[in-house]
Chains A and B, each alone.
Chain A
């Protein structure tokens, strides 16, 4: 067949009818013989087929879903199809694993963020703790110094109360007519010392007032002893210490004496002596 004849054959429209299935078996056979002989015919048929296929695809209409169901029921391959779906899980088992991997990746990322947050929190906490510790130390120092102040003030207050009590007694005794105050002056042993003795004229009670005395401080082995001179003889009225911080009583009751011409105080070894040590006569005063 000449080129012109082949072209005329292609342009006759018979190939379109062949693709549309609109030829008699004899005519179709002839087209197939031509196709076997001429590649141009094959190419033309392929182009027409593709055009018709695209045309059909672009103008597709979705049938209702039950057509498919009925079709597979009718063909009896539903069972096989179901076996198919049953046999599907092994194929898809890979997928959950991938998802799980993704999930753990996300978890690792989350954990990493959490770790960073934890470290940051730890640093913040440590800093806060350090600052708080320093403040606490300062507070402790302040409390200690305040305590010291408080003790000092307490001591002062105690002293003031003690003095006040003694002074109150002295005032009371002065007001009363019953009490005689004997002022004892410093002697050669301790010229600056002085001390008062209070003697009740009625019941002959003898009192000393720690507030109303100014005697040198005694050492651990010595204390003062009060004497009454009765007709030239010293009579011991008891011992007393210098201001004792444990005792709140400013007044100390001594032994009573019925009569006396003078009172004196000597420094004696602890417990006192039978006779006064005259070298250590501290104060003395007549009635």
Chain B
């Protein structure tokens, strides 16, 4: 228990405590990752209240399905981030979200969200935006859709009218660009 008083824990320690359902670990996990996960969520869902709901749902799901996490398949954060992304995308397509947009029909939904994202670009996102703007425009547009707006690569291919393979390559190149900028 005392080990959990530390501000941060190593990933194996976190996983072990999380899977043994130690309530204190969720506190640690929240303090370590809530803002990073909220950063992902709030870029997909710009509506603050809904985004915070999704953040809460994300941690509930992390807590409830901790035993499903398999560390051989990837990092804990990747697993948590994908929970956050999937819940965000689910929320975008949910009845809740559509109700909050007041009678917007499904066809216009995506473009409405696009528009909303454009005009209400959060200052917190500026760093990301700048980084992404340094990418070539074709890489930028793919990453925008997939990372910011929660598109699948199939949806992005449709939206950009590109072959699936090209979208995949561009996502890869964009991420390689990010890897390079972090190193």
Contacts and interface: CB of A to CB of B under 8 A. Distances in A.
Interface residues of B, number: 54
A11 to B, nearest CB: 7
Nearest to A70: B56
Interface in A52-74: 52-64, 67-68, 70-72, 74
Q: Which 4 A-B pairs have the closest CB atoms?
A: A13-B168, A21-B82, A13-B172, A60-B35
A63 B35 CA distance: 6
A83 B141 CA distance: 49
Contacts of A45: 74
A81 B24 contact: yes
A52 B78 contact: yes
Interface in A1-30: 11-17, 19-22
A11 B34 CA distance: 32
Nearest to A84: B24
At the interface, is chain A mostly helix, strand, loop or mixed?
A: helix
B101 interface: no
B86 interface: yes
Contacts of B159: none
B55 A63 contact: yes
A77 B30 contact: no
B27 A58 contact: no
Given A13-B168, A51-B178, A60-B39, A19 B74 contact: yes
A56 B168 contact: no
A279 interface: no
Interface stretch (B12-20, B90-98, B110-118, B121-129): B121-129
Contacts of A71: 30, 56, 59-60
Which size bracket describes the interface of A in this complex? Answer: 35 or more
A211 B43 CA distance: 134
B5 A51 contact: no
A111 interface: no
Contacts of A14: 168
A47 B78 contact: no
Interface in B64-83: 73-75, 77-78, 81-82
B23 interface: yes
B172 A16 contact: yes
B30 A56 contact: no
A171 to B, nearest CB: 119
